Amino acid sequence: MKSSVVSLWLISFVHFIFGQQTLPLDSIKRMYKSADMIFTAIVTYEQILANTVGEEQKMIDFDITEIQKGKDYSRLLVYTTVDTTTYVKGKEYLVFARKNKTLNRYELFYAEHVCKSCINYTIRKVYEIIDKTPFATIKKPRQKTPWNERGCGCH
């Protein structure tokens, strides 16, 4: 009995530690260099699409709030593989995307939820790379689509 309690505690502790783990700075720097677009944006919708080969892909429409790297867009459709990640409508995310020149579209390779009231380690490191203050405008998107609330709503 004592052994199972210790095992359960250890599993919970490991889950807590890995759940709190952040990306290493070197990884963030590599992602920054390889991304064509880095931006914070609010999800307006996501949709599952089947391509011509029958593989499913997810298309996510983002209302851009700030551009850290890349072109001046106010909204952007980004494609990704179908996985367990759900992008919640109305929530803000930090998005790293590459341009697929063959298909002429942006493909997401990393995204995480951001909030003005939370720690946001990754976005703070991105701002350190470009030597700016977090949540201060880097590049204003063209004619920003109005939105009521910014952030995750957790505070």
| pTM, 2 dp | 0.72
- 132's CB contacts (< 8 A; 6+ apart) are 138
pLDDT in tens, 106-142: 999 999 999 878 888 898 888 888 876 555 556 665 5
Domain boundaries, the chain: 24-129
Average confidence (pLDDT) over 86-112: 94
Q: Where are the alpha helices (DSSP H) in 21-149?
A: 25-34, 121-129
Q: Which CATH number fits domain 24-129: 3.40.50.740, 2.40.50.120, 3.30.590.10, 3.50.50.60?
A: 2.40.50.120
